[in-house]
Amino acid sequence: MRRYAPFAVCIAGIAVVLALLPRFNAAQPRGIRLTRAEAMACADPMARDLGIPVGQSWPILSWDMSRLLEKELRDDPGRYARAYDDPVLGPRLGSYLRIYFRRGQSKSTPYGYVWIDGRNGRVLGARLTPREEESGKHATEAEMRPRADAFVHSRPFDGAPSPQFESARPTVMRTRTDWVFRYRVPSAFQIGKIVPYLNVYYNGDRFGGWELSEEYADGSTFTGESGGAITGFLIRFAVTYALLIFLLAVFLRKYHAGEVGVGTASMLFTLLLALLVVSDVMMMRAFAENTGLGSLDAQQTGIAIIVFKFVIFDLPMALVVFFGWSVGESYARERWGERLASFDALLRRDALNATVGRSVLRGSLAAPAVAAAALLIGAIPLLLKSAHAGLGGSRLILFIAGPTLIDLFAFTDAMIFPIAMVLFLLAFAHSKRVLAAGVVAAVVLSTIGGAVPPPIDPTLQCVFFGWGGIAACIVVFLAWDLLSAAVALGGASIIVGAAPLLSVAHGPMLTQLSVATVTPLVALVAFAIAALMTGREVVYSYEDLAPHVKRIIERERVKAEIDAANRIQAALLPLESPRLAGATVASHYRAATEIGGDYFDFLMLGNGDIGLAFGDVSGHGLSSGIVMAMAKAALLVQVGVDPSPRAVLNVLNEIVIKTAPKRIMMTFFFGVLDPATQQLRFSSAGHLDPYVYRGDNGRLESLSSWGFPLGVRRRDPFREHVASFGPGDRLILYSDGLIEAVDDDGDPFGFERFEQVLRDHGTKSAEEIKKTLLSSIRKFTRNRPPEDDQTLVVVSFEEEMAGEAIA
């Protein structure tokens, strides 16, 4: 069943995309047929006829829309669609705009403009804009009005049938007087307070062209959404640099540890930078359209902007991918190595194999589903009427450089978001055991970054509801692998960017757009099939791996062994304190490293007595933990034979001497508590003397029993002692990690402070004494991590122990 899941996902995704497209194509220019190249070919002859020196100019092609009409119609998609069929409104809703800038001069006054109807190639307007200092005639309205009327009646005008003269407006300059004659255009289509006009221009007495325009009937000024695009850009800019700084910090730490490689990352850095530079060159003319940089001409302005963009955006983004791959790969190798296999093979130029083919096919089939998720979430604000359908990816096609730019942007997105966001953030979070937080962070940052944005406006609504595509991409990554996620996201970017315009296009535009949309997806599927037919799987041997990958594997192997040893040690320590008749026990254990050298235990002996074992191996870490485990094993055997404290220490001493590494010693305290007599028989092998707080007089005593630590060959015999307890007495066993805990100045907590806490709080319960001691030490050290293992056992005698211990 899983074998056919990608095909089912693909079919479902296509169905959802087709069902949702009518909600997103309202703002698209319905019936558009002309490509950008055809629009240029239509505009240039008209420009020459008007007197524009086309060969001397630096022209650009953009798209022009009536902002007044768009604002009036956008909340009613059905009405918006019908407006395209209206003879007055249809030509005004959108057209190609050819602007002819002057070379070597400020771009504020171009040679002129030509508007081309994208549906039929007709000229909707053409205007000549001479510079202010150019001379001409100071003609009067009486001289020019007849010429304007004759021009208006000489031919039909698309977008202005039956124009009616309304007013003439002069612009008087030192060298000439320019005129604009305004003709109101009646319309049967209800468009609120908006009045359509046909403007005819004269520069002096020279014909200056005509233009379609719209105004509010009451003369009010158009106001659109302000600040959203700028806010979105600033947030995106801040997120990029914040992520770059964080990645750099993590990269430097792991680089010094030898856990990252830069070879593959450098390849990705170079490839992404090349793609961004190519896209910048394609967008250079569009950058120059609405930006002025002092005396620079349009071409110089465009070059200056792409250089600026390269420095502040392209280069940092390429660095984000560089660090994202280096660090993300390092974390992913720990537990997700299989998710990188196909991406690895691709980057190693070993692409034609079944491993890569399977990932590419899965990603290609998942692309419609990722696109469907983006549109599905993007449809929410449309239903709530808090947003409206926008041009989306059509801006790249119509305003900037055509359908090829959609593909180029999809390729860059397929590198940036799966690597810098999905791979790094999810692998990093997974290594910290907070995968859910990583998923949320990846979704939020990718949405702000603009991963598969739905074609809606305003900008902030697009950001708030733009997380559907990246969320689906993360699902693909978690279900399959990184290459599948990258292909799925790239394919979805193409679909979401091109599908709305594709659904309303005709003729050459439909053909060009279909080729640009379908060709990459078909090529991916064809490549995937060819790769799968090889039947060759990518299998790396240890020798094939990069040095930093080998170091990661070795580190993980050691970590796994330490984790196993940690679990074994945890099993050696008591899970909970024993329940005693007439007494309570509280205990605490904290290792300084993964494996501790401290040991304590409560042993239920056959005659009802309780064995209290407490030990401390010199140092801490794996060696100390092994010695502690051996002592535990020997102790369990010995108490079944002879549990007397002296015998126990003799046996443990022999074990440590024979098995422990040289210079490893172990202090040990062992006592046998008789519940009936409240007596403790004990012996000590160099361990710190336990304290006894006497409840009847508040005095603090120590159970002194001097002896050499375990592991010393020449020694005096172990000595056995007896201590008796009564109601209110407290027995405190502890390791030197508590006494030697230091503050920021390196001063130890010490015996005096330890004893003072016991005197001040000795009347409290065992649990309260434990918490008070630990709290005092934490406050003294200001929560510094311990430099040695810390162990504490407190026994509180509350009444006569008439019965036996309860396990």
One-character DSSP codes across 70-82:
HHHHTT-HHHHHH
Question: Cα–Cα–Cα angle for 153, 155, 159, nearest 5°?
Answer: 100
**Cα 143 versus chain centre, distance:** 67
Instruction: Provide the angle, in degrees to the nearest 10, between the axes of the packed helices 354-383 and 5-24.
Output: 30
Is 717 a member of any domain? yes
User: What tokens appear for 2 in the block?
Assistant: 């899983």
Is 802 a member of any domain? no
545 in the same domain as 533: no
Could you give the CA distance from residue 499 to residue 705 in angstroms, rounded to a whole number? Answer: 86
Report the CATH number that the domain containing residue 651 is assigned in CATH.
Answer: 3.60.40.10
Which region, left, alpha or beta, applies to residue 61 given φ > 0 means left and ψ of -120 to 50 means alpha? beta
Question: How many DSSP H helices and E strands does the chain contain?
Answer: 25, 20
* Of 241, 250, 298, the residue nearest 100 (C-alpha): 298
CB atoms < 10 A from the CB of 577, how many?
Answer: 17
Is 481 a member of any domain? yes
One-character DSSP codes across 363-386:
HHHHHHHHHHHHHHHHHHHHHTTS
394 in the same domain as 304: yes
User: What tokens appear for 583 in the block?
Assistant: 């007494």
- Name the domain count of the chain: 4
User: What tokens appear for 24 in the block?
Assistant: 């997103």
Do 414 and 370 meet the contact criterion of CB atoms below 8 Å apart? no
259 in the same domain as 192: no
Strand, coil or helix: what is 794? strand
Domain membership of residue 371 as a residue range: 2-22+226-539
DSSP code, position 214: E
206 in the same domain as 62: yes
Last residue of a domain, one of 519, 539, 559: 539
CA atoms within 13 A on the CB side of 174: 4
Last residue of a domain, one of 539, 560, 592: 539
Do 770 and 542 meet the contact criterion of CB atoms below 8 Å apart? no
325 in the same domain as 465: yes
Is 68 a member of any domain? yes
User: What tokens appear for 84 in the block?
Assistant: 């395209």
User: What tokens appear for 528 in the block?
Assistant: 């995937």
274 in the same domain as 383: yes
Instruction: Provide the angle, in degrees to the nearest 10, between the axes of the packed helices 298-309 and 263-289.
Output: 150
Please give the helix or strand (H or E) that residue 526 lies within, else none: helix 507-534
Is 803 a member of any domain? no
71 in the same domain as 51: yes
Could you give the CA distance from residue 46 to residue 345 in angstroms, rounded to a whole number? Answer: 54
Is 804 a member of any domain? no
Burial 425-454 (b: 16+ CB within 10 A, else e): bbbbbbbeeebeebbebbbebbbbbbbbbb
SS3 assignment for 137-174:
CCCCHHHHHHHHHHHHHCCCCCCCCCCEEEEEEEEECC
User: What tokens appear for 660 in the block?
Assistant: 């422990």
501 in the same domain as 436: yes
Could you give the CA distance from residue 287 to residue 299 in angstroms, rounded to a whole number? Answer: 10
767 in the same domain as 618: yes
**What pairing do the DSSP bridges indicate for beta strands 679-685 and 721-724?**
antiparallel
Q: Which positions ≥6 away from 479 have C-beta within 8 Å?
A: none
Do 67 and 216 meet the contact criterion of CB atoms below 8 Å apart? no
Is 221 a member of any domain? no
Question: Cα–Cα–Cα angle for 794, 798, 803, nearest 5°?
Answer: 100
Q: Which positions ≥6 away from 27 have C-beta within 8 Å?
A: 70, 74, 80, 388, 389, 390, 391, 455
Which residue numbers in the chain have pLDDT < 70?
1, 224-229, 540-572, 594-596, 619-623, 662, 714-715, 799-807
Burial environment of residue 153 by CB neighbours within 10 A (0 to 12, 13 to 18, 19 or more): exposed
Could you give the CA distance from residue 439 to residue 432 in angstroms, rounded to a whole number? Answer: 13
526 in the same domain as 417: yes
Last residue of a domain, one of 539, 563, 585: 539
Is 655 a member of any domain? yes
415 in the same domain as 277: yes
Q: Which positions ≥6 away from 734 have C-beta within 8 Å?
A: 688, 690, 691, 754, 791, 792, 793
DSSP code, position 419: I
Q: What is the pLDDT of residue 569?
A: 63
709 in the same domain as 637: yes
